[in-house]
Amino acid sequence: MRSPRDSIACGIYLIPEDRRRTGLILDMAIRENITLPALFRYASGGLIQFDAERQTAAETCAKLNVKAPSVESKAANLSGGNQQKVVLAKWLSQSPKVLIFDEPTRGIDVGAKAEIYQLMRQLAESGVAILMISSDMEEILGESDRVVVMREGAVTGILERQKCSQEAIMRLAFGKEAQPQLRV
């Protein structure tokens, strides 16, 4: 893959770390943010079918428990957790194969964190591969089946859940027990 477009065509989507700058268009409605990547699905003869767009957005928001007055509310007016859910909704409507969550719960409250973790588990159980990038040790230990530790752009180790501990991760992160380096 040579571009984001190639990744998207293969069903690989990114839930970015900075949802406000790179995950959403804040001045647009929730509906528009969710349907934008597949706008062609909602167009006929060059005209957007707003009812179909609204229905998809409303159904996806209901599944993800997005708290907003309506799908016509601006994304900027949502809490951090609800903004994160809208970013996720955008890609869920595309039938993902792989979702890359970069710092999935940064800047959101405890209740929204639990909901995001539950959504990630449900997606994994349904067959979607989940790749989580996180600097939060508690999040890593609590949510990961396998942890790949990197240092200076190289993989220093891979830990299965049963061998995963804060100490084991830190040893690999600081080069104490580096395995043969794999370039990423």
pLDDT tens digits along 58-70: 999 999 999 999 9
Residue closest to 72 by CA, chosen among 91, 58, 59, 92: 58
**CATH 3.30.1060.10 fits domain 4-134:** no
Please, where in the chain does CATH 3.40.50.300 lie? 4-134
* 32-56: average pLDDT: 92
| 107-116: pLDDT as tens digits | 888 988 999 9
- Looking at the predicted structure, is the pLDDT value of residue 182 above 70? no
- Looking at the predicted structure, is the pLDDT value of residue 122 above 70? yes
Residue closest to 157 by CA, chosen among 134, 143, 178: 178
pLDDT at 178: 45
Token duo for residue 128:
């979607």
Q: How far is CA 37 from CA 53, 124, 153, 164, 176, in A?
A: 12, 22, 30, 37, 44
- Count of CB atoms within 10 A of residue 21's CB? 9
pTM for the full predicted model: 0.86
* 69-96: average pLDDT: 94
Q: How confident is the model at residue 31 (pLDDT cuts 50, 70, 90)?
A: very high
